[in-house]
């Protein structure tokens, strides 16, 4: 079981970082006045307080609370994704199946620890059944493009995100009852990497990684953010079943995957002609804008941990 001192130190650490960030942001705002960069920074910090608070409440309710929180996140992300994709009347039944069968069934399987089915339910069964449902409508106009959008939305918004609460089911010897800490570790490291990439990019960013996709991403921000987030992950080894060196390795992999996820989601947004997925979170865009890095990192982190550390 999670020891009280572990949660206390972790909570104090997260709260301390947010308090320091808030103080710095407000101090810069008073010094520089109306500055778009500072305003965006403060919006991001405020949004972080909200998101950390929601995650803390979910943690209080244990597995059920965490599963419901990420099911809601998946629903919101899927709605944002499909709102920006081309659909026709013939897709309505397939969309209903995605929202009201695919999503709840996936999270029910995760909640019941049915790994043998939740690991293949969407990439096998849903991927085969959805085109059948759409084809039965008789509408073949841009059929491949339409069904690919629906399948991809289900894959990234539901299947990938559901691997976060799935961490709670991993049977790790000597780590029983502490799996909530794995979720905290994943979120802190991956989202910390995003923030640190943003900070390093603003401080010293010069060379663009992919200017056509995400002009704000620079090599300096990428390398500085991933290096510092890897160090952060190594420093948090004590809340995981990993050694410090293993924690550093895991952190590096999920930070790289998080960056790649953000880049892919930026490419999709550029294709759709939008800056943000939605206005849900002030300063952060939509749910998908915040989940982009977690989407790609969560399945990799889950399967790496399951392969090397479960009994």
* Domain residue spans of the chain: 4-309
Distance separating alpha carbons of residues 83 and 61, to the nearest angstrom: 31
The per-residue pLDDT for 283 is 52
Beta-ladder partners of 218: 208
- Count of CA atoms in the C-beta half-sphere (13 A) of 144: 0
The per-residue pLDDT for 15 is 81
Q: What is the mean pLDDT of each successive set of 10 residues along the chain, which is 311 residues long?
A: 71 80 78 71 75 87 94 94 83 93 97 96 96 92 91 96 96 92 93 85 84 84 93 94 97 96 88 76 70 92 96 76
The per-residue pLDDT for 282 is 56
* Residue among 259, 252, 254 nearest 298 (CA): 254
* Residue among 18, 107, 103 nearest 66 (CA): 107
- Count of CA atoms in the C-beta half-sphere (13 A) of 224: 18
Quote the tokens at residue 305. Answer: 């941990």
* pTM for the model: 0.91
Distances in whole angstroms, Cα of residue 235 to Cα of each of 81, 212, 249: 35, 35, 12
């Amino acid at each position: 079981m999670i020891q009280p001192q572990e949660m206390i130190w972790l909570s104090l650490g997260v709260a301390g970082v947010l308090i320091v960030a808030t103080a710095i942001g407000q101090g810069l705002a008073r010094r520089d006045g109306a500055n778009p960069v500072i305003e965006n920074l403060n919006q991001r910090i405020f949004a972080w307080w909200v998101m950390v608070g929601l995650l803390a409440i979910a943690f209080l309710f244990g597995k059920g609370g965490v599963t419901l929180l990420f099911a809601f996140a998946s629903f919101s992300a899927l709605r944002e994704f499909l709102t920006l994709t081309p659909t026709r009347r013939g897709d309505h039944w397939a969309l209903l199946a995605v929202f009201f069968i695919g999503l709840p069934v996936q999270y029910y399987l995760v909640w019941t620890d049915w790994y043998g089915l939740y690991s293949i339910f969407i990439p096998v069964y849903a991927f085969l059944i959805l085109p059948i449902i759409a084809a039965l409508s008789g509408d073949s106009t841009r059929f491949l493009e339409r069904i690919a959008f629906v399948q991809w939305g289900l894959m990234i918004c539901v299947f990938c995100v559901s691997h976060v609460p799935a961490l709670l089911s991993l049977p790790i010897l000597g780590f029983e009852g502490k799996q909530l800490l794995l979720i905290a570790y994943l979120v802190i490291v991956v989202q910390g990497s995003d923030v640190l990439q943003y900070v390093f990019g603003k401080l010293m960013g010069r060379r663009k990684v992919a200017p056509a996709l995400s002009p704000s991403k620079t090599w300096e921000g990428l390398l500085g953010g991933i290096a510092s987030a890897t160090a952060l992950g190594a420093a948090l080894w004590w809340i995981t079943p990993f050694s410090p060196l293993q924690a550093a390795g895991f952190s590096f992999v999920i930070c790289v995957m998080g960056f790649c996820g953000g880049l892919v989601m930026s490419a999709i947004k550029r294709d759709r002609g939008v800056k943000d997925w939605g206005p849900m979170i002030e300063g952060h865009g939509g749910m998908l804008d915040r989940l982009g890095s977690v989407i790609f990192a969560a399945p990799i982190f889950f399967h790496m941990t399951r392969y090397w550390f479960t009994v």
